[in-house]
Structure 1
Amino acid sequence: MATTKWSLDLSHSELGFKIKHLMISNVTGKFSKFEAEAVTEGDSFSDAKVVADIDVASINTNNEQRDEHLRNADFFEVGAHPNMRFVSTKVERVDEDTFNLFGDLTIKDTTKPVKLSVEHNGIATDPWGNVKAGFSINGKINRKDWGINYNAALETGGVMLGEELKIQGEVQLVKQA
């Protein structure tokens, strides 16, 4: 069977995250610039090879002061590490439409294995003849595993930021000719 290449349709995709703040609520954010591609056998994603690159400077939490702090050495150190990268290592089918996508995530020159839950929402052809595939992606990582350790103790006990970061994505891929 022939291999198929799929590229990201950024205008119909989003990549976000959420983290506990003051241990009572969540702060959400997103990356507005990222690229992804998948290579499959035919139209089946059960054996997909996936690569995604995220432009860390494109982080947006709807607070410019916080975004600038996230770009500095306390967090992502964008000047020295402008991109994050995910490279898949294995796909594991859970059921007909759900997969576990295992891969290596590199942040700040540290690469660690991660597991993402991926729901395949289907394949459709748009009005212009482009074949598209849609996915919902969820996962969790511990930011300290990648050396993102910044925090502040609270007077009332606890800390300002949680360690667990929840990843959320809605991705649409376009089949390449």
Structure 2
Amino acid sequence: MSAKWKIDPTHSNVGFKVKHMMFTNVKGNFNDFSGDFELGEEGLKDAKLDFVAKTASVNTNNADRDNHLRSGDFFNVEQYPDLKFHSTSVEGSGNEYKINGDLEILGVKKPVSLKAEYSGLMKDPWGNTKAGLNVSGKINRKEWGLNWNSALETGGVLVSEDVNLDIELQLIKE
């Protein structure tokens, strides 16, 4: 029997990192996100996951960069306020899983497979049942139309095409 879960936003982080100038990583996250999940009694087996991040909430700790990311060069937050993920299947057992689903950015929906580590269940001090989930993966941003870049005089580009996802979720049973 499955149960419904929500993200506990105060104990979760939706992060990413991208190579800058081809040699260092710039990290960022989305501050405004939510999700509806159905988890079975056997961890993530047969789980259903729906997730939304508000693109205007992108945060890299640099106001100029964040404003550029919100512009039409990247997320175009006025026209596309949501980044969405909907699972289509979950494979694995124990605490190691692969979550397959559709990722939608800029109105472009593409299939992705993400690695997930399920930490199990725990009761918090107030009697709430919690579940822990770490999701990671790599996407090529150009597949979703995030094409902006700038060539470097020394060769290469300013922003890598690859985006590494690092998502830590604490879920709370409804």
In which range does the TM-score fall when normalised by the shorter chain? over 0.9
- Residues of 2 paired with 1:44 and 1:63: CA distance? 38
Q: When the two structures are superposed, what TM-score results if normalisation uses the length of structure 1?
A: 0.96
Q: What is the match of residue 136 of structure 1?
A: 134
Runs of at least 4 residues off by over 4 Å = none
| Unpaired runs of at least 5, structure 1 | none
Q: TM-score normalized by structure 2?
A: 0.97
1:43 deviates by 5.6
1:97 corresponding residue in structure 2: 95
Which residue in 1 is equivalent to 2:149? 151
Identity %: 46
What is aligned with 2:117?
119
**CA apart distance, 1:132:** 0.2
- Counterpart amino acid of residue 23 in structure 1: M
1: CA distance, partners of 2:39 / 2:23: 42
Question: Residue in 2 aligned with 1:87?
Answer: 86
Root mean square deviation of aligned Cα: 0.9
Alpha-carbon distance in 1 for matches of 2:15, 2:135: 10
Q: Which moved more, 1:153-162 or 1:34-43?
A: 34-43
SS at match of 1:70: helix
**Residue 44 of structure 1: CA displacement?**
3.1
Structure 2 CA distance, aligned partners of 1:37 and 1:124? 19
Distance 2:38 2:97 in 1: 16
Q: Within the alignment, does 1:50 sit opposite 2:49 as a pair?
A: yes
Number of the residue aligned with 1:5: 4
Structure 2 unaligned regions, length at least 5:
none
